[in-house]
């Protein structure tokens, strides 16, 4: 449901996001709730970690939830600093001691925490695609020549209270699951009850640090927090996209890092293009991972045939998960348009109805397309080398097999 939001700020890349995030953490008086897929204490990530230490040092409750695959174990010195500061640090779905990469062979381990949320004092929430990872550094590729292309949004107002509820609920559910795995069944049951099983709950009930008050609703931009999980909100983000695409009259502009949309979403885009809507996609142009890079390309053919423009971003890694439709609807978040995000992972997007915000995001996307995008020629696509076509089909088949093994339809 859309809410009036008194404050909305688009943040492009780590250069805008991290200073705003650190400033907000430094202003925290009661409670910092932080969720991220990757927390890498390197470069800019060090500044975020130090801000959390400062907050804990002045008595702020700091809770950090990181993904067990995305985030490597902290160096011993950082583990000690975090423990000494009293930061509550938790790992979502760790693979387990001794399993290593073999843990990924189990389909239940594919359900990851991919959302990037930081809620401060139930007053401001940061949401987007940006991990705690330096823009010019990649754990696999080292130093980057140009920053990642990504976005986040900062929202103040009642949306922050909703985000705090969601973050608190997940925090305590993970805590309860950890207690159950350790056979502390009494503690686990208490935490499951505290986490709202059998009834609604609130952030204030779950953690309730002193001084964390609710935001006041004031007139402003309409925004909604859209969460995806494996319980009640399995299709929420995809439905938000399809609903907006179905209502489009003039333009659909999507930038997405890992783009392998399912049949319903593909058909929605094709129908929009056929009724005269200009559909433009800005997608990953640099090779990052085999599956994501090659599995995306077999779906391009039908889209290009329908007249959809596909531009590949080549300046650096594209990590954005954003869209603008008809100059007034926009979304910024963590969800890729691929089966991992839309079927398995926990994701969070903010959807906005506002011409000014949508216009700002559209301008940034058009600048990226004009300055760093390479338009994919339909003829060149259909005549790409045999080796590439084989790899594309192999990756697509493996992805479809993985979906089947996970018990999903896409």
The residues that are catalytic are: 114, 116, 121, 319, 321, 326
Determine how many CB atoms are found less than 10 A away from the CB of residue 214: 14
How crowded is residue 19: how many other Cβ atoms within 10 Å of its Cβ?
Answer: 13
**Main-chain phi, psi angles of 291, to 5 degrees:** -60, -50
Residue/partner pairs of 77-82 with CB below 8 Å, 24 or more apart: 78/41, 78/49, 81/49, 81/53, 82/49, 82/52, 82/53
Which stretches of 31-135 are assigned E, i.e. beta strand?
31-36, 61-67, 88-92, 116-120, 124-128
Residue whose tokens read 């990226």:
368
Contact 119, 163 (CB under 8 A): yes
Q: What are phi and psi of 122, to 5 degrees?
A: 55, 25
d(CA 307, CA 375): 12
CA dist 285 and 315 (Å) reads 8
d(CA 71, CA 36): 9
Is there a contact between 335 and 225 (Cβ–Cβ < 8 Å)? Answer: no
User: φ and ψ at 7, to 5 degrees?
Assistant: -145, 130
- Rounded to 10°, the helix 13-26/44-57 angle is 10
**What are the distances in angstroms from CA 372 to CA 146, 258, 286, 324, 336?**
11, 18, 12, 19, 20
Q: How many CB atoms lie within 10 A of CB 133?
A: 26
Burial 272-297, CB ≥16 within 10 A → b, else e:
bbeeebebbbbbbbeebeebbbbbbb
């Amino acid at each position: 449901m859309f809410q009036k939001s008194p404050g909305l700020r688009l943040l492009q890349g780590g250069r805008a996001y991290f200073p705003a995030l650190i400033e907000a953490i430094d202003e925290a008086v009661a409670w910092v709730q932080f969720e991220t897929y990757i927390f890498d204490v390197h470069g800019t990530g060090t500044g975020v970690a130090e801000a959390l230490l400062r907050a804990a040092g002045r008595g702020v409750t700091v809770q950090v939830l990181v993904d067990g695959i995305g985030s490597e174990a902290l160096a011993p010195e950082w583990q000690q600093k975090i423990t000494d500061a009293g930061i509550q640090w938790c790992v979502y779905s760790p693979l387990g001691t001794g399993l290593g990469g073999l843990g990924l062979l189990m389909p239940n381990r594919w359900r990851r925490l991919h959302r990037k949320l930081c809620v401060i004092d139930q007053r401001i929430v940061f949401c987007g695609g940006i991990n705690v990872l330096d823009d010019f550094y990649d754990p696999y590729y080292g130093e980057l020549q140009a920053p990642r292309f990504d976005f986040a949004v900062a929202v103040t107002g009642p949306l922050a209270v909703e985000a705090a509820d969601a973050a608190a609920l997940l925090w305590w559910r993970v805590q309860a699951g950890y207690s159950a795995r350790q056979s502390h069944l009494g503690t686990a049951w208490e935490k499951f009850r505290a986490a709202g099983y059998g009834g609604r709950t609130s952030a204030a009930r779950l953690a309730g640090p002193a001084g964390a008050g609710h935001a006041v609703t004031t007139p402003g931009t309409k925004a909604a927090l859209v969460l995806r999980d494996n319980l009640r909100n399995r299709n929420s983000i995809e439905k938000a996209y399809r609903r907006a695409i179905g209502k489009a009259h003039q333009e659909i502009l999507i930038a997405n890092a890992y783009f392998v949309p399912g049949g319903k979403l593909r058909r929605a885009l094709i129908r929009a293009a056929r009724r005269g809507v200009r559909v433009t996609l800005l997608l990953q142009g640099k090779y990052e991972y085999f599956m994501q890079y090659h599995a995306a390309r077999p779906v391009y053919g039908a889209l290009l045939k329908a007249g959809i423009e596909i531009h590949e971003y080549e300046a650096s890694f594209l990590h954005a998960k954003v869209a603008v439709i008809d100059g007034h609807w926009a979304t910024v978040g963590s969800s890729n348009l691929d089966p991992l995000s839309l079927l398995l992972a926990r994701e969070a997007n903010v959807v906005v109805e506002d011409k000014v915000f949508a216009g700002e995001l559209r301008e940034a996307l058009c600048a990226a397309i004009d300055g760093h995008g390479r338009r994919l020629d339909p003829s060149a696509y259909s005549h790409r080398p045999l080796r590439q076509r084989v790899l594309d089909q192999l990756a697509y088949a493996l992805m479809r097999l993985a979906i089947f093994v996970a018990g999903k339809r896409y």
